Amino acid sequence: MTCENVDFPALGQGPTGSAGQTGSAPPSERLHFVLSGDQPHRASEWADTPGRSLEEQLAEIAQEVTLRGEAAERRRQDEIEAARQKRIRWKAAMEEARVQYAESYRVRHFEAQEAAWRHATRLTRYVSAARTRVEAMPPGQTRTEAEAWISCATATVERLDPLNAPPRLPDIPEPRADDLKPFLGHWSPYGPTYRAPTPPDVPADLPSSSRKASPREHTSHPARPARSAR
């Protein structure tokens, strides 16, 4: 909020030769006061008029300055409170994102264990079938080498099978900002701000029936009339 004073005559140079006596001054020499900035409540400009001098309007100017200052302070306080509430919502979203990230990490851990168990189970059947074949082999160097392979394979499968150790919950690592993005919705992981949604990727090998046709593909061409045989 600023004040602009324009067209002030020099003191002692009024039309009557004394400062402040501007009632009969021409329009170009009358006092003019402009209050700019913020939303006006009553007025933004005051000037000398034939029936009322600018000095008589000083109380109105002071009141306008006060009203605008109070309104500006209310807006500032509202903005501070809005920012505080926004940060509270962001912190709550971050806490919920951490909970969802931990749950997602545990699910991925369980799925990896289940896949390792199925893999170890298939290898166990394979090693069992190989052991049956080796037991039927005659004694000799070949059987000795095959039995050594069976021992090595059995030990390997035992290490691969997650059920050979007591099950336990995984240790959740500290999530990075990118780890929390999938669980934050429109919130940014870096602070109480919003981020633009990421458009979904369209696979390059998407069938033509699923792709959005271009305007050229939608354009219909009138059929040419067939030439009449002469």
Q: Domain map of the chain by residue range? A: 2-13+24-77, 94-195
Average pLDDT of every residue of the chain? 79
Distance, CA of 36 to CA of 121 (rounded, Å): 81
Amino acid at 23: G
pLDDT at 25: 55
> Rg (Cα) of the chain, in Å, rounded?
43
pLDDT at 197: 58
Low-confidence ranges of the chain (pLDDT < 50): 4-23, 199-230
pLDDT at 173: 94
Amino acid at 160: L
pLDDT at 7: 43
pLDDT at 217: 44
pLDDT at 196: 66
Which H/E stretch holds residue 71? helix 58-135
CB-CB contact of 147 with 134 (8 Å): yes
Helices 58-135 and 141-160 pack at an angle, to 10 degrees, of: 160
Q: Which long-range contacts (CB under 8 A, 24 or more apart) does 172-175 make?
A: 172/101, 172/102, 172/105, 172/106, 173/105, 175/97, 175/98, 175/101
Question: 36-92: per-residue pLDDT in tens?
Answer: 877 788 788 888 888 888 888 888 888 889 988 899 999 999 999 999 999 999 999
pLDDT at 104: 96
